[in-house]
Amino acid sequence: MSWLRSFASGLRALFNTDQVDQELDEEVSGFLEMAVEEKVKQGMGQKDALREVRLERGNLDVTKEVVVASGWESFVLSLWQDLRFAARMLRKNPGFALVVILTVALGVGANTGIFTVVNAVAVKPLPYPDPDRLITLWERSRSDGLDGTVALANFYDWRAQSGSFSKMAAIDPYPDFILNGSGEAQRLSGADVSGDFFSLLGTRMQIGRDFLPEEGRPGQNNVVILSYATWQRYFSGRRDIVDRAVTMNDAAYTVVGVLPVGFWFPEKRDAFLPLRPNGGVGDTGINTQVIARIKPELNLRHVVGALM
């Protein structure tokens, strides 16, 4: 039977249930009578032949159910019956219905959120040039053997000594800032990044420039790069925002650039500052995350072998 014929037959079964049931009864009964006649021809009595056929073929109602279940329309009918039953039960117990609806909503929302994150991070390729050459470096603790964030001093040593990477950059994604002087004070999510961070990712500014190497040294002027959304939301997308001063955490910062729309790493942030060591003994930079770009002539196996 072709799929078109099967589909038409299923539709007929859905909308002409009584007629289809009657035809199926007649067909099964006719099959039973033919089997009985065959037994009678072989010399059995009518009653014995009927008993023998029923023993061989089984219960006729079960046979009808098997035939009905073989069609796609049986799934639709079962689903419709389940929905009607569920609706009746929920209508009788509105409190339980509310709990069920909230539970389903929370479950769908949680799964949607998880899928969104997994899809963005693990399924879809990263929105940067040659994303397969980007890796994250971690520091392994001698005490428990677990991988974690990197001490800032170690990052500087790695960057100076590594021969496997064309660039290496660090990010502290945890600082937040209070934006003043733009109406009501606003909390901005922020990050401190090393000078090669945006160039390593292959990100070009929408307007303005990237951080200069010297701006990552202690004692330099305060500079900031804004996200596209922050530029639009708090500064109305003014083209003259570059080289203008903004006030964050009650200090003046010069805007040197604005990122392109949709930029994120490791998630969406409002503002970026140069990552600067303070030079103190306790400046361990324990929250530092390190990323690197593998040189074009090498692959991940070469890098792992060099690091082991």
Reference 259, options 302, 199, 214, 301; nearest CA is: 199
* Average pLDDT, rounded, for the chain: 77
Q: How far is CA 258 from CA 55, 133, 229, 265, 289, in A?
A: 83, 25, 9, 15, 22
In sequence order, the β-bridge partners of residue 246 are 253
pLDDT tens profile 83-111 = 777 677 767 777 766 776 777 777 776 66
Confidence of residue 167 (pLDDT cuts 50, 70, 90): very high
Task: Choose between 192 and 122: higher pLDDT.
Answer: 192
pTM above 0.75, yes or no: no
Structure tokens at 150: 């990197």
Structure tokens at 8: 């038409």
Amino acid at 286: I
Strand pairing report for 289-294 and 165-172: antiparallel
Residue 148 has pLDDT above 70, yes or no: yes
Whose tokens are 């950059």? That residue is 169
pLDDT tens profile 266-281 = 788 999 999 988 654 4
- Domain boundaries along the sequence of the chain: 3-91, 93-123, 131-307
71 burial (CB, 10 Å; 0-12 / 13-18 / 19+) is: middle
Residue 163 — left, alpha, or beta (φ > 0 → left; ψ -120 to 50 → alpha)?
alpha
Confidence of residue 1 (pLDDT cuts 50, 70, 90): very low
Please, are residues 291 and 134 in contact by the beta-carbon 8 Å criterion? Answer: yes
Task: Choose between 55 and 204: higher pLDDT.
Answer: 204
Confidence of residue 123 (pLDDT cuts 50, 70, 90): very low
What's 286's DSSP letter? T
